[in-house]
Amino acid sequence: MTTARATPGTDASQATAAGSAVDAAALALGDDALILSHRLGEWAGHAPVLEEEVALANIALDLLGQARVLLSMAGDEDELAYLREERAFRNLQLVEQPNGDFAHTVARQLYFSTYQRLLYSRLTATDSRFAPLAAKAVKEVAYHQDHAEQWTLRLGDGTDESHRRMQRACDALWRFTGELFRPVEGVDVGWAAMETSWLESVTGVLRQATLTVPEGPRSGAWTAGAGREGLHTESFGRMLAEMQHLHRSHPGASW
């Protein structure tokens, strides 16, 4: 009878692989928060009313705080934010979409914050490295989602013009939502069940807002998973250049 023997270093190799997967996942989730934070920050001085100036800034700061924690898990947060090239970013294509008009920003936030709240709620119940962050961030994201839902209702069930713009925004961004549920290695959640919950939640809000749930595909042939693979839309390069300009112009400077 031959007894199977473990190959020396197998456990260490598996641990290293698991650690690398978690680092990669932290980078992907951190990039999501970082890029959307920057997009929302672009509203400073341009929001439709003063109250929204403060609300969008607060949401942006919440996301920036999440990004700092997540990127620090993967390396130096400043280097990762300001010194990587476009193809090295792993954020979802949804979060990099331009602000457009206010309805466009609201639709983007509705889609993403609903996803993020479901994700963090599940991560809170795990024993992963993400659990402490998720336990704190899920409370922030609950506000983000509520804010987006309330504006979706106000715009969708408002004037003819606000309804038209909100419908247009929901339709335009729908094709980027399939990528939300592409499994991220190192994040152990039930992605299929989460997608079902997301669809139920978003569909309920849109219908309550008298909006039509978009019927088009939720990921095109070239967009499915593209952001996670470092493939981004045209506007991302311009946004990144603006975000990184100061740091790259004065390397090593302290303030």
* Cα–Cα dist 244/235, whole Å: 15
CATH class of 20-249: mainly alpha
Share of residues in the chain with pLDDT > 70 (%): 89
Residue 11 pLDDT exceeds 80: no
pLDDT at 252: 81
Torsion of Cα atoms, 161 then 97 then 248 then 76, to 10°: 130
Smallest CA-to-CA distance from 35 within 206, 146, 202, 176 is with 176
What is this structure's pTM?
A: 0.90
Distance CA 112, CA 246 (A): 28
Residue 238 has pLDDT above 90, yes or no: yes
Residue 110 has pLDDT above 80, yes or no: yes
What integer is the mean pLDDT of 29-35? 98
Spacing of C-alpha 226 from chain mean position: 14
pLDDT at 134: 98
CB atoms < 10 A from the CB of 11, how many? 10
* CA gyration radius, the chain: 20
131 has pLDDT over 50? yes
Please report, for the chain, the start and end positions of each structural domain, with discontinuous segments joined by +.
20-249
